[in-house]
Structure 1
């Protein structure tokens, strides 16, 4: 890019002496007229300080030029010098000169140097010689340059111009540019006329080439002069910047991926905090429902409602955990499940997710739809696809949910590269919306890409679905008919010989205590209260605290033995493990059960793993709490 700019600078006003310097006032390029004026070739003085080469009879004038140059480099303003003096040179050529200094820009806003133009007044300077120098310069130039007269006939071209545009140089000179390129766009003809009127123009443009190729070209067009006031034609410089454009696009893609990754990381942090608080509230709901179910007969009218609340809370727990898994990359917990049964268990929630005027159709495969994956992942796939299908339908329409067993052999997959060989269960969600246009379909699985209005979608739904399917060795296809709707097909490996685990109703009786004393600490007062009620119902004695400081004070005030500490892990003042170690100093035989709604990697940071018997994941049911408490107490007695 910079080489192209320097060549463009050298070509300005070639019949006068032209010298280009960089920001450190070092000579970079000059034309033959300047070489004659200074008495040096460019090879002899390139890179030297301009002020050392500029030897004038009048020292005050030399200082004036130096100061003007500094002003141009600092401000970008043009400077004109009109004084005349004699150059002291090694040649016999002495000349009285005036001229101007103009800034050279690498790009708008960044000055890369300055351009001196000395108006040569000598009578013996032959314009024909300058024209010859210009033609030689163009022919030898390593960039694509062409010299034209006012009728756009070729006067000279560089070898690079010939090669770049695949031209025949033996019959090019003297021919019209419009004859060589008969399909040239009209806006280029307008640009040529502007240049011949005295304008210097530049731009970047995408040009079609042979065989359907397209190249990005950076171009500069400027007039050349037969005399001081007569334009003889124009000089055109072009540079193929296709590779640079591709690199810029790759950099932009990488930047967008980085921004997306940072958004996901931020989402993970936000989800972790929200899910922790949400899990606490779910725990309160489950705790109260669990206690209520103990006190009500199964044939009571409210029993069914309480059971529905319990099931909805458990479903919400699974979905919250899946959000955490997506944002923090936690490992899922796959198991064999019967896909149709899992979908039917989700049906009530799905119908509430779609608009009332939309018909919901369920067409299950007869049998054999067994897959191995985390059940909550099925819930998340269904929720995302059904919500998207509902949003795609404006007014009355239909969403069809279907499962089908499919098998693809290697021959089929060779002919259809987007398929994988093997036995699969296809889960499809179809809608009767307007369909998806091709440009949108190419990006629908990108994180944070959404066509929904601001505030109506995050752009994470389909990217989450794609991530889940890939994690489970499946694949996705989208069948789309613009104007007639779209179908998302999820193919999951079928485990025909597997036996899914049956759904087990919660045990009616939970292991009970024998009046052991438990100190329970949770910084959520509502959860601490319901946990106390559950433990009391199980036959334990309980004291509760809502902060580590309060727990330590209770232990100091309590005169008896505390058999078990149940503590939240992440709390103000100190974490659960630090609290346990502090209380151990007061009662060395104290047992501990940690509980938390945070993700596994946050637990690991606190020094606690979920594999330990002393850890209970929130939200938990009455039975889960009862079993875990007995495990810890019995383990301590056995040791």
Structure 2
């Protein structure tokens, strides 16, 4: 490779002059223009007078090993950034819940004609935008709330094809090539459409003078060897979604960072840097794998692999309609370690007739429960708390009160937050941030569910 040629020559010359063996990596360019990474080692052979008579060495093509190691490093980096983003979004959701609920309190007390109402509604709009931002962060960290169903990828593309035309403008031509034999996959249809939209917008931005956006699907079988070469991929049948543009391609120094949250090459104010990060998170949370192929002057292709599945649609969790009002007279054990959020939840419940026993953590909640076990009608608890979390607290209380209604709160997904102790066991779940009405409705729904009779 031209950039490595001088270094290799200097290394060999140094070995000839000093008789020190060499071992290094360098690139070569094959006759068809492909760049490969080579590991070379060698040493000198001397005659009786100590003169170099030959140089002996070997060369090994380590391109695939290097690529695999780089993929692993990138996956580990993205995992670490994802944990950070998820933690920030979780804490931010607590703050947003407090802000949004106080905005609702203010709106309840202000008449439509009050001048200050416009200011409060502007704050409400800002909190909604902030909540959308945290959802994108949670999407990247694979902890957003999804509603997976059995879907056909072709249907998702057809659903937004006309919208893409309006979104991309007249200078971009949309071409679809869909495999009609494509099987079913399990994913949230709304999030898959979000993936398509984000990739389409990214492609449009890569073609400022216009061009072609090609969306292609096909069924592929991933072998065990192919799965090993792509971290996170499983062997077996997959749906491949390939989204290609005819732009200028992604520079080599930019490509390692394109999925990182808030990374953008656009000017300040022209983008959040969360478009591709959101795509990455949704694909990963849906059990898929994403990679990118790009060449300067030849465009970019994003390849998304989703495992195919078979069988009937999964059984949906039961939901019970709230037929009465949202008020109540029951006694609620409220557990939340964020002081401001605990105060807001207490205000919401008590102002609607409920009695509240509040605790700042799991240990304190257990003490309150032991003293008031017979009075408590339901448990409303955060999931992520120091020392004794919501899941562990619920398990202890359920051992004494198997029929107690439980409503979990979390800024993470239900699956990430609860694991096996989810709503499939009849418990409720509400994601943060939430409004006062949403909390009251979810709590009322849990309280009104029919109770299983105790085992004889």
**Could you tell me the TM-score, scaled by structure 1's length?**
0.44
For residues 391-402 of structure 1, what are the structure 2 equivalents within 5 Å? none
For residues 220-619 of structure 1, what are the structure 2 equivalents within 5 Å? 220-225=43-48, 235-239=53-57, 241-242=58-59, 245-247=60-62, 249-296=63-110, 302=118, 304-305=121-122, 308-309=125-126, 311-325=128-142, 333=148, 339=160, 374-376=189-191, 435-436=248-249, 439=252, 462=276, 465=279, 481=297, 511-555=325-369, 561-580=375-394, 590-600=404-414, 602-604=416-418, 607-619=420-432
| Partners of 1:476 and 1:488 within 8 A in 2 | yes
Distance 1:587 1:438, change over 3 A: closer
Distance 1:408 1:544, change over 3 A: closer
Please give the secondary structure, in 1, of the residue aligned with 2:100.
helix
Higher relative contact order (CA 8 A, sep 6+): 2
Q: Deviations over 1:469-489 (max 9, x none)?
A: 79689997869649xxx7888
- Aligned position for 1:53: none
Q: Deviations over 1:303-339 (max 9, x none)?
A: 75355245425423532331231xx699664688764
Distance 1:524 1:204, change over 3 A: closer
CA RMSD, aligned part only? Answer: 6.1
| Partners of 1:444 and 1:462 within 8 A in 2 | no
**Count of aligned pairs between the two proteins:** 380
Distance in 1, Cα, partners of 2:353 & 2:210: 48
**How far is the alpha carbon of 1:566 from its aligned partner?**
0.8
**Could you tell me the TM-score, scaled by structure 2's length?**
0.58
**How far is the alpha carbon of 1:559 from its aligned partner?**
9.8
| Partners of 1:291 and 1:534 within 8 A in 2 | no
**How far is the alpha carbon of 1:516 from its aligned partner?**
1.7
Q: Deviations over 1:539-596 (max 9, x none)?
A: 3232322123433444466598222121122323423344346556887864322222
Q: Deviations over 1:210-248 (max 9, x none)?
A: 9789987655445535xx7xx8x7521423x23xx324x
Distance in 2, Cα, partners of 1:403 & 1:294: 51
Distance 1:191 1:538, change over 3 A: closer
**How far is the alpha carbon of 1:630 from its aligned partner?**
1.7
Please give the secondary structure, in 2, of the residue aligned with 1:520.
strand
Q: For structure 2, which runs of at least 5 residues remain unmatched after alignment?
A: 1-8, 177-186, 220-238, 266-270, 307-320
**How far is the alpha carbon of 1:530 from its aligned partner?**
1.4
Distance 1:250 1:527, change over 3 A: same
Please give the secondary structure, in 2, of the residue aligned with 1:315.
helix
**How far is the alpha carbon of 1:520 from its aligned partner?**
0.9
Distance in 1, Cα, partners of 2:300 & 2:32: 34
Distance 1:564 1:405, change over 3 A: same
| Partners of 1:565 and 1:590 within 8 A in 2 | yes
Q: For structure 1, which runs of at least 5 residues remain unmatched after alignment?
A: 1-186, 348-359, 393-397, 411-421, 494-506
| Partners of 1:519 and 1:562 within 8 A in 2 | yes
| Partners of 1:203 and 1:219 within 8 A in 2 | yes
**How far is the alpha carbon of 1:491 from its aligned partner?**
10
Distance in 2, Cα, partners of 1:429 & 1:209: 25
| Partners of 2:211 and 2:245 within 8 A in 1 | yes
Distance 1:222 1:311, change over 3 A: closer
Distance 1:571 1:401, change over 3 A: farther
Once the two structures are overlaid, the 10-residue window that deviates more, 435-444 or 527-536, is 435-444
Distance 1:277 1:474, change over 3 A: closer
Distance 1:466 1:558, change over 3 A: closer
Distance 1:217 1:275, change over 3 A: closer
Distance 1:469 1:293, change over 3 A: same
**How far is the alpha carbon of 1:297 from its aligned partner?**
5.3
Distance 1:442 1:608, change over 3 A: closer
**How far is the alpha carbon of 1:524 from its aligned partner?**
0.7
- Aligned position for 1:141: none
Q: Deviations over 1:46-99 (max 9, x none)?
A: xxxxxxxxxxxxxxxxxxxxxxxxxxxxxxxxxxxxxxxxxxxxxxxxxxxxxx
Distance in 2, Cα, partners of 1:275 & 1:207: 42
**How far is the alpha carbon of 1:400 from its aligned partner?**
8.5
Please give the secondary structure, in 1, of the residue aligned with 2:141.
helix
